[in-house]
């Protein structure tokens, strides 16, 4: 693996798609046995790395002097998969494609976002989605409902956007307040506007051979996109997905299988998760547990995609915490061949894939190629 491999980029600007987050994400967050979880304080992991100096190439990053205790010095460090730089490149490709469509048929894609409640992290993600839309020329529409809204009010907003031809994508920011029926709400998004890919028809098609989903969930799609753009072969490889959530683990496993990997899902009831994970050529971790995956879980030369975005206390920072992944980064850098950092790995790809799905939807709606 050297520089990112040259590859075909399709017209939707893809190459062929927590407690992860500040507070427990959604309701499907699994309880992992506590002996598997290593809090930040129990490790001597070094501070988060410096920004990658070499966007869009697999770059090497030296680790600081305080390495995790289990990590043994080896001859070289893993390469850093720079999701932030890849996401920027994808946004530029999408912006160019949107301009081409606007010039040709006068259509501008539209994305509607529904946010319910006052979670700070959700508000930040929605704000970032709006900014990303602005940066590529997608029109964005936002409905912000109070925490105590009824399910019917959310359904009414979705229904309005389902009927609005200027809206090509609809997403409901998750998690929803506990009194709402997430299944009912997600099922009410029109399948042809389901840019989050959470509708059961889209997930069902993803699971079936010979069927094509209209959209693939953004975070797993972003993981695969990173592998593609870095020229990392998936076909025939052993892949382990850690976590089985509806929005990341399960669709990530389905996507890897569609790419001809041999896939194992490790979850909170799996016996010997470490031994199983150590067999993988590709690991995608989405548990929402800071530093759960240690260097000893990783086969020498494996590729590690870390979806976790976990806050850990850090009194030195003004906001009082910093973000780390599910994987002990410094240990992974010692054994893996390539690793995504947190932040700056999979996170930015989630929003880039949302823009890509929205562009795809607008093109499909208007028969534009």
Which lies closer to ligand LMY7XDAE via its Cβ, residue 21 or residue 229? 21
CB of 351 to ligand LMY7XDAE, least distance (A): 5
Give the 3-state DSSP-derived string for the chain, with helices as H, strands as E and coil as C: CCECCCCCCCCCCCCCCCCCCCCCCCCCCCCCCHHHCCCHHHCCCCCCCCCCCCCCECEECCCCCCCCCCCCCCCCCCEECCHHHHHHHHHHHHHHHHHHHHHHHCCCCEEEEEEECCCHHHHHHHHHHHHHHHHHCCEEEEEEECCCCCHHHHHHHHHHHHHCCCCCEEEECCCCCCCCCHHHHHHCCCHHHCCCCCCHHHHHHHHCCCCCCCCCCHHHHHHHHHHHHCCCCCCCCEEEEECCCCCCHHHHHHHHHHCCCEEEEECCCCCCHHHHHCCCCEEEECCCCCCCECHHHCCCCCEEEECCCEEEECCCCCCCEEEECCECHHHHHHHCCEECCCCCCHHHHHHHHHHHHHHHHHHHHHCCC
Choices 4-12, 238-246, 328-336, 348-356 (CB under 6 A): range interacting with ligand LMY7XDAE: 348-356
Hey, which residues between 4 and 43 contact ligand LMY7XDAE (CB under 6 A)? 21, 25
CA-angle at 170, arms to 168 and 175, nearest 5°: 165
**310 touching ligand LMY7XDAE, by CB under 6 A:** no
| # residues contacting ligand LMY7XDAE (CB under 6 A) | 19
**Is position 202 an interface residue for ligand LMY7XDAE (rule: CB under 6 A)?**
no
Between 196 and 326, whose beta carbon lies closer to ligand LMY7XDAE?
Answer: 196
Shortest CB 25 distance to ligand LMY7XDAE, Å: 5
Q: Mind telling me the catalytic residues? A: 129, 173, 196
Among 259, 347, 360, 361, binds ligand LMY7XDAE (CB under 6 A): 347
**What φ, ψ does residue 339 adopt, rounded to 5°?**
-140, 140
Q: Is residue 281 a contact point for ligand LMY7XDAE (CB under 6 A)?
A: no
C-beta closer to ligand LMY7XDAE: residue 25 or 329: 25
Q: Is 309 in the site for ligand LMY7XDAE (CB under 6 A)?
A: yes
Interface residue with ligand LMY7XDAE among 12, 194, 196, 225 (CB under 6 A) is 196
Residue nearest to ligand LMY7XDAE (CB): 347
Nearer to ligand LMY7XDAE, 58 or 351 (CB): 351
User: If binding is defined by CB under 6 A, does position 158 make contact with ligand LMY7XDAE?
Assistant: no
Q: Which is nearer to ligand LMY7XDAE, 17 or 264 (CB)?
A: 17
Candidate ranges 100-108, 204-212, 285-293, 346-354; the one touching ligand LMY7XDAE (CB under 6 A): 346-354
What are the residues binding ligand LMY7XDAE (CB under 6 A)? 21, 25, 125, 171-174, 196, 218-219, 309, 323, 342-344, 347-348, 350-351
């Amino acid at each position: 693996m050297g520089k990112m491999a040259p590859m075909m980029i399709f017209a939707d600007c893809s190459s062929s798609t927590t407690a992860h987050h500040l507070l427990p994400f959604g309701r499907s967050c699994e309880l992992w046995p506590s002996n598997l979880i290593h809090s930040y304080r129990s490790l001597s992991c070094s501070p988060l790395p410096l920004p990658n100096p070499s966007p869009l190439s697999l770059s090497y990053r030296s680790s600081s002097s305080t390495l995790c205790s289990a990590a043994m010095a080896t001859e070289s460090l893993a390469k850093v998969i720079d999701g932030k730089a890849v996401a920027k490149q994808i946004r530029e490709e999408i912006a160019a494609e949107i301009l081409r469509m606007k010039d040709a048929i006068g259509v501008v894609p539209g994305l509607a976002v529904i946010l319910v409640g006052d979670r700070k992290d959700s508000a930040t993600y929605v704000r970032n989605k709006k900014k990303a839309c602005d940066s590529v020329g997608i029109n964005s529409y936002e409905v912000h409902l109070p925490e105590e809204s009824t399910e019917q009010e959310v359904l009414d907003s979705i229904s309005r956007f389902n009927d609005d031809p200027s809206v090509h994508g609809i997403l409901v920011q998750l998690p929803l307040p506990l009194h709402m029926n997430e299944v009912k709400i997600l099922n009410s998004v029109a399948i042809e506007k389901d840019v989050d890919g959470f509708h059961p028809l889209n997930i069902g098609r993803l699971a079936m051979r010979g069927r094509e989903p209209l959209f693939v969930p953004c975070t797993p799609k972003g993981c695969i996109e990173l592998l593609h753009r870095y020229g990392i072969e998936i076909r025939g490889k052993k892949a382990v997905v850690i976590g089985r959530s509806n929005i990341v683990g399960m669709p990530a496993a389905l996507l890897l299988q569609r790419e001809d990997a041999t896939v194992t899902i490790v979850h909170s009831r799996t016996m010997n998760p470490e031994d199983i994970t150590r067999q993988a050529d590709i690991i995608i971790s989405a548990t929402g547990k800071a530093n759960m995956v240690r260097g000893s879980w990783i086969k020498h030369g494996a590729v590690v995609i870390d979806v976790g975005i976990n806050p850990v206390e850090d009194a030195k920072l003004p906001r009082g915490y910093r973000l780390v992944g599910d994987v002990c980064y410094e240990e992974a850098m010692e054994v893996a061949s390539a690793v995504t950092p947190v932040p700056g790995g999979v996170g930015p790809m989630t929003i880039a894939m949302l823009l890509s799905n929205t562009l795809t939807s607008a093109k499909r709606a208007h028969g534009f190629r």
